[in-house]
Chains A and B, each alone.
Chain A
Amino acid sequence: MTERVLKGLSLSPGEAFGEVLWLDREREEKDQGEVTSGNPLEALALAFSRVEEDLSAKEREAQGAGKELLQAYLEILKDPSFRGAMEEKVREGKSPREAIEGVTGHFKEVFSGLEDPYFRERARDVEELGEKLLLALSGKVSQKERDLSGKVVAARNLLASQVASWKAGEVKAVLWKEGNATAHVAILLQSLGIPAVGGLGEALEGLQEGERVHVEADLGQVTAGVSEKALLEGEKEEKKEGKGKEREEALLRAAAAPSRTRDGKRVEVAANLAHPAEAPRAKELGAEGVGLFRTEFLFMERDRPPSEEEQRAAYREVLEAMAPHRVIFRTLDAGGDKPLSYVEFPQEENPFLGYRGLRVSLKERDLFRTQLRALLRAGKGLSVGIMFPMVVSGEEVLAGRAMVDEVLGELGEERPLRLEVGMMVETPAAALLAEELADHVDFFSIGTNDLTQYTLAVDRGSTWVSSLYDPYHPAVLRLIGMTIEGAHKKGRWVGVCGELAGEVLAAPLLLGLGLDEWSMAPQKIPAVKRALSLWTGDEARALAEEALALDSPEKVRKLLENEARS
């Protein structure tokens, strides 16, 4: 079988080779095969006892976040307003199915209508319990537990209660038809360290039971139909990494210390986060702050914008989890490729060169003001950074800053202890003007993914040209160098929050260019901290100079590979 690539969303980072095991392809639809015989009240009671038994068994096995979740589910099963209300409906003549759907539907609606994101999430819990009860009613709950160890699990429906009882290192990876990174399931998978790709849609259905796949969850990508040879080699590589487990543990211990170069210079290694729930894990992995907090999760997939209070609570949660470290929030980065239902977007041929990032915020002033108020209020007594995405000129930064100052003027005591306002450098324009723009900001954060796209005129999503996409291109590196140089002349600091920051290969290069802060997916922190500790500033500078004089990304990579230290 030839190889084919499936594209989805990264739910939980990591990489794995393995064979596919379908979790629920055999399962019947939940509205078939209902138990209709006998007394409906008894049927309902039977469904409850089956689900309770199933969840109790899982709860005994589970640990940490999974265990707490299951305990909460068991408590809901006992709730008189839940079960009692269903029994009431059955007594009124409704079928058990109608009763379950009616009561779970009611609570789902109640929770979905709440402002607070934590409590709104409870709608999913109720929905999941309802599904389990319906399944139990049709006699499907106690499907034989299959041995999932060493498999790449594919699933149409994946319930948090299923995942909650899995153990770290057992399931190799998860491929899910639906899902987004803030779903309960995704957060559990992250805490277990199981790589996962979601949102695969119909493409997932093409996977065969036992088919060999290569999962690159960081890229949200699955390669199906890999050869046996490739699989064996991949697994051998994994084993080697497994043998490197001690090394990994040593890395993790070392990552707890502040990051320093070989000659003792302090550099900052921080985390990129997209949800407050990821913060504790980032801290465990040695993050010395958050260099990029993506605020989009609050704004997507809803009918109206989040309130100031809802935003404030979410931002406060990250800040408290990371304190005393700094958290840098990127203001809303929406565009025509990820539109919001409550903001008007134009029809554009190319949304990447269109109405997006700060351009939207400066037009949707109420939305922008509310976000800034929430950010500044959340920062009370703590260290906050705010940065604007997609900036090409000084006027834009000044307009953004003016809004920050205006909001600060309205606030009383409720403001950050320390506030820094910065901007993303994602366009060649911003990099070329760095020295001038530095007059208006406290810091720059280079988004190397977009900077690479815009510099090389390559859309990394377009398969015909994506091989030309390479952040190691000397032109991109020179722009990074210029940005840092311009900022340092004005006494500002510079970070990188694109994928390049998380690459061990790039660490000495970026150090040599003078970078001050690296921000990356949390699981990459230990290895990058170590890589940085192996170089002195002078050695790294010499390496960077050599790289910048080359004429292709291939030559740069070759140089870095030859010089790599471990």
Chain B
Amino acid sequence: MIREEVRVGGPHGLHARPAAQLVQEAARFESRLRLYRGERGADAKSILEVMSLAARPGETVILEAEGPDEKEAVARLKPLIKGEAPS
């Protein structure tokens, strides 16, 4: 299992569009992917759960991945949370 802290970027944080991108990307991985902001946790494959974290720019979230492709998943999702264009 991998756990990494990521700082949220983008003009409005994880709002509809970035959340949708994140979720679409997350759906491609087999691993269980979760995001945590403080005590709240969310399934990174659910747009409603990701948006309900209400993560704003500058805040830190924890990305947790567990499964066969966890390494690649973390590498792909991190830039999306940071608000960087997907590589």
| Interface residues of A, Cβ cutoff 8 Å to B | 68-69, 71-72, 75-76, 79-82, 107, 110-111, 114-116, 118-119, 122, 126, 313, 320
Judge whether B48 and A76 touch: CB under 8 Å: yes
Beyond the given A75-B47, A116-B54, A119-B54, could you list 18 further A-B residue pairs with CB under 8 A, ordered by the A residue number? A69-B16, A72-B16, A75-B20, A75-B23, A80-B45, A80-B46, A81-B43, A81-B48, A81-B49, A82-B46, A82-B48, A107-B48, A110-B52, A114-B54, A116-B56, A122-B16, A122-B48, A126-B48
Judge whether B52 and A107 touch: CB under 8 Å: yes
Residues of A within 8 A of B46 (CB): 79-82
B76 beta carbon closer than 8 Å to chain A? no
From B11, B20, B43, name the one whose CB has the most chain A CB atoms within 10 angstroms.
B20
Of A75, A111, A115, A118, the residue contacting B52 (CB under 8 A) is A111
Residues of B within 8 A of A119 (CB): 15, 51-52, 54
Instruction: List 15 contacting pairs A-B, 8 Å CB cutoff, sorted by A.
Output: A68-B16, A71-B20, A72-B47, A75-B23, A76-B48, A80-B45, A82-B48, A111-B51, A114-B52, A115-B54, A116-B54, A116-B56, A122-B48, A313-B56, A320-B11
Closest A-chain residue to B42, C-beta based? Answer: A81
User: Which secondary structure characterizes the binding site on chain A?
Assistant: helix
Residues of A within 8 A of B48 (CB): 76, 79, 81-82, 107, 122, 126
Chain B, range 7-24, C-beta contacts under 8 Å to A: 11-12, 15-17, 20, 23-24
Of A72, A107, A118, A320, the residue contacting B20 (CB under 8 A) is A72
Q: Rank and list the top 5 A-B pairs by shortest CB-CB distance, nearest first.
A: A81-B46, A119-B54, A72-B16, A75-B20, A114-B54
Q: Kindly state the separation between the CA atoms of A101 and B16 in the bound complex, as whole angstroms.
A: 23
Closest B-chain residue to A317, C-beta based? Answer: B12
Residues of A within 8 A of B54 (CB): 114-116, 119
Q: Which range holds the interface residue count of chain B?
A: 10 to 19
Q: Report B28-67 CB contacts with A as 1/0, cut-off 8 Å.
A: 0000000000000001011111011010100000000000
| Interface residues of B, Cβ cutoff 8 Å to A | 11-12, 15-17, 20, 23-24, 43, 45-49, 51-52, 54, 56
Closest B-chain residue to A69, C-beta based? Answer: B16
Judge whether A118 and B12 touch: CB under 8 Å: yes
Residues of B within 8 A of A79 (CB): 23, 46-49
Judge whether B47 and A68 touch: CB under 8 Å: no
Of B12, B17, B45, the residue contacting A68 (CB under 8 A) is B17
- Distance from A132 Cβ to chain B, minimum over Cβ atoms (Å): 15
Q: Kindly state the separation between the CA atoms of A75 and B16 in the bound complex, as whole angstroms.
A: 10
- Distance from A78 Cβ to chain B, minimum over Cβ atoms (Å): 8
Residues of B within 8 A of A80 (CB): 43, 45-46
Residues of B within 8 A of A313 (CB): 56
Closest B-chain residue to A125, C-beta based? Answer: B16
Closest A-chain residue to B21, C-beta based? Answer: A75
- Distance from A434 Cβ to chain B, minimum over Cβ atoms (Å): 41
Residues of A within 8 A of B43 (CB): 80-81
Q: Kindly state the separation between the CA atoms of A75 and B52 in the bound complex, as whole angstroms.
A: 15
Q: Kindly state the separation between the CA atoms of A45 and B46 in the bound complex, as whole angstroms.
A: 19
- Distance from A248 Cβ to chain B, minimum over Cβ atoms (Å): 31
Q: Kindly state the separation between the CA atoms of A72 and B20 in the bound complex, as whole angstroms.
A: 7
Closest A-chain residue to B20, C-beta based? Answer: A75
Closest B-chain residue to A84, C-beta based? Answer: B46
Q: Kindly state the separation between the CA atoms of A111 and B46 in the bound complex, as whole angstroms.
A: 14
Judge whether B47 and A118 touch: CB under 8 Å: no
Q: Kindly state the separation between the CA atoms of A320 and B17 in the bound complex, as whole angstroms.
A: 19
- Distance from B5 Cβ to chain A, minimum over Cβ atoms (Å): 21
Q: Kindly state the separation between the CA atoms of A36 and B11 in the bound complex, as whole angstroms.
A: 46
- Distance from A263 Cβ to chain B, minimum over Cβ atoms (Å): 41
Residues of A within 8 A of B20 (CB): 71-72, 75
Closest B-chain residue to A126, C-beta based? Answer: B48
Q: Kindly state the separation between the CA atoms of A68 and B12 in the bound complex, as whole angstroms.
A: 15
Residues of B within 8 A of A76 (CB): 47-48
Q: Kindly state the separation between the CA atoms of A107 and B49 in the bound complex, as whole angstroms.
A: 9
- Distance from A344 Cβ to chain B, minimum over Cβ atoms (Å): 31
Q: Kindly state the separation between the CA atoms of A122 and B80 in the bound complex, as whole angstroms.
A: 21
Residues of A within 8 A of B15 (CB): 118-119
Of A72, A81, A82, A115, the residue contacting B17 (CB under 8 A) is A72
Q: Kindly state the separation between the CA atoms of A114 and B55 in the bound complex, as whole angstroms.
A: 11
From B17, B48, B56, name the one whose CB has the most chain A CB atoms within 10 angstroms.
B48
Q: Kindly state the separation between the CA atoms of A115 and B52 in the bound complex, as whole angstroms.
A: 11
Q: Kindly state the separation between the CA atoms of A118 and B46 in the bound complex, as whole angstroms.
A: 18
- Distance from B27 Cβ to chain A, minimum over Cβ atoms (Å): 8
Residues of B within 8 A of A110 (CB): 52
Residues of B within 8 A of A68 (CB): 16-17
- Distance from A475 Cβ to chain B, minimum over Cβ atoms (Å): 48
Q: Kindly state the separation between the CA atoms of A107 and B54 in the bound complex, as whole angstroms.
A: 13
Residues of A within 8 A of B17 (CB): 68, 72
Residues of A within 8 A of B24 (CB): 75
Closest A-chain residue to B54, C-beta based? Answer: A119
Residues of B within 8 A of A75 (CB): 20, 23-24, 47
Residues of B within 8 A of A111 (CB): 51-52
Judge whether A122 and B51 touch: CB under 8 Å: yes
Residues of B within 8 A of A320 (CB): 11
Residues of B within 8 A of A82 (CB): 46, 48
Closest B-chain residue to A107, C-beta based? Answer: B48
- Distance from A114 Cβ to chain B, minimum over Cβ atoms (Å): 5
Residues of A within 8 A of B45 (CB): 80
Closest A-chain residue to B17, C-beta based? Answer: A68
- Distance from B59 Cβ to chain A, minimum over Cβ atoms (Å): 11
- Distance from B15 Cβ to chain A, minimum over Cβ atoms (Å): 6
- Distance from A117 Cβ to chain B, minimum over Cβ atoms (Å): 10
Q: Kindly state the separation between the CA atoms of A69 and B46 in the bound complex, as whole angstroms.
A: 17
Q: Kindly state the separation between the CA atoms of A126 and B46 in the bound complex, as whole angstroms.
A: 13
Residues of A within 8 A of B12 (CB): 118
- Distance from B29 Cβ to chain A, minimum over Cβ atoms (Å): 14
- Distance from B38 Cβ to chain A, minimum over Cβ atoms (Å): 12
From B16, B20, B23, B46, name the one whose CB has the most chain A CB atoms within 10 angstroms.
B16
Q: Kindly state the separation between the CA atoms of A114 and B16 in the bound complex, as whole angstroms.
A: 15
